[in-house]
Structure 1
């Protein structure tokens, strides 16, 4: 399903998005018409729209458009993308009329198998914005997969961990859940878990990995997913803290879309 402003989208309307790659989005897992952290998804869309376009969104309208893509029963991943079809490559400052593109796809069955990730030196442009510009994330993911891993884990020039290409990462040191202190996109699932479970936020260099008892990835599509290896360091594919975090996340009440 794909609609632009509530109407079936035409190929020509997507041409500008494909060629300029300027816009932002949020992806929501909708279970039986409900979304965990719905208000956080809406706040993200509003915040990023002001940053990229200097404009406000009608969030009730956005919810209504997104609702059209979500069946009343079952699980679906709904993506809301905000972009301006009239954006001119030479004059991006004139882009001030964001449109709402809603797409949907089947949601995966949870939990997913553990990830094996390879570190890559990269800090995303404007990390606080969930941008449609995914070139670097996909490039590093491809390089990691060619090397035999599942995905890439971003670190800065000092080898301090920040995030995955499309997910956040957390750790367990034996006593506390730890979220990396870094420039990254704070995901909705990460924010919900921070509210549900005691944690610390601190720098996590790659050199500290041998002291971690578990690691996990989070986003709205995957929930809480174990990380079984980072570079050459193996981590438990099952751990009590991961089971606990999954349970706490699933117990977060969803809001009607």
Structure 2
């Protein structure tokens, strides 16, 4: 079940809407029983992306995001999506309140045969149509996720995920700037640095990665090991996320703290 709300900046409130609109920017985060991780990072990524897409004309993003936090139900698992859309003559903010799909523990990748066609790879939502197409192609090929490659064939990221891998105890990131600034990857890298785990960038084609453990990362599923590459291998080495996923889970904090009859946003 999904409900859609538009931001009324004049009255500082969210109101239900069924009007179709052109999506320009999106962001999503997982909420489990009123707790979320990386909310400040999601908020700032959304703010930064909106800046170059008319976001100021949509109103006060801070007040909008505070209203989002108050609107997401506390019990259960939710995957709210904030949007900047063209709502008629001017941009507007919207909120989709969605129940979260079940978390899955592993992923099978399919390599998209055509190079990255995204116009704005660093803006979440700008290329939803193409990313949806290649993910559908991946499912048709018996996989869960499409791997995006550059014009030179190097792995960039997944259609809905960031991709990282392990080589000789080093956490490796794609050596590309044409990637979404993933919140989950940022938190994982921070954990690696804090524990003294080496982190490095590496330019690699998918064929280079079939014999090393690969992970996909996103807000919904967290860390998932790659257990197969469609058309390349069905038996790659698998490294379970274990303590790394536990670390991410422990970062979840209440969206709202309540003291008596007062409620206030948690800033972090």
Matches within 5 A, 1:15-54: 16-17=21-22, 22-53=23-54
Structure 1 consecutive aligned stretches of length 4 or more whose deviation exceeds 3 Å: 234-238
CA shift digits 1:57-110 (9 cap, x unpaired): 5233122331243122332111001112125xxxxxxxxx43111112222344
How much has 1:32 moved relative to structure 2? 2.6
* TM-score, normalising length: structure 1: 0.84
Structure 2 CA distance, aligned partners of 1:169 and 1:135? 20
Following superposition, the deviation at residue 54 of structure 1 comes to 6.0
Tell me, what secondary structure is at the counterpart of 1:166?
A: coil
CA distance in 1, matches of 2:187, 2:207: 28
Question: Structure 2: how far apart are the matches of 1:68 and 1:77?
Answer: 14
Cα distance between partner residues in 1 of 2:219 and 2:149: 22
Give the Cα–Cα distance (whole angstroms) in 2 for the partners of residues 222 and 51 of structure 1: 29
Distance 1:177 1:143, change over 3 A: same
Offset at 1:2?
1.4
Paired residue total = 238
Q: For 1:229 and 1:157, how far apart are their aligned partners in 2?
A: 23
Q: Report if aligned partners of 1:82, 1:100 keep a CA contact under 8 Å in 2.
A: yes
In structure 1, the partner of 2:209 is 209
Cα separation, 1, equivalents of 2:115 and 2:164: 18
Partner Cα distance (1:69, 1:77) in 2: 12
User: 1-side partners of 2:153 and 2:51: how far apart?
Assistant: 32
Q: Structure 1 unaligned runs (5+)?
A: 88-96
Task: Report what 2:97 is aligned to.
Answer: 104
1:86-145 Cα shifts (integer Å, max 9, x gaps):
25xxxxxxxxx43111112222344x1321111113322111111253111111112222
Consecutive unaligned residues in structure 2, runs of 5 or more: 8-13, 257-268
Residue 161 of structure 2: aligned partner:
167
Structure 1 residue 174: Cα displacement: 3.2
TM-score, normalised via structure 2 length: 0.81
Aligned to 1:9: 17
CA deviation vs aligned residue, 1:181-214 (integer Å, no higher than 9, x gap): 11110211111111111321221222321441x1
SS of 2:124 mapped into structure 1: coil
Match of 2:65 among 63, 74, 77: 63
Deviates more, 1:135-144 or 1:202-211: 202-211
Aligned-residue RMSD, C-alpha: 2.1
By how many angstroms is 1:237 displaced? 7.3
Superposition deviation, residue 176 in structure 1: 1.1
In the TM superposition, what is the alpha-carbon distance from 1:24 to its structure 2 partner? 0.3
Say if 2:182 is the partner of 1:187. yes
Higher helix share: 1
Contact kept, 8 Å, 2:32 with 2:77, in 1: the verdict is: yes
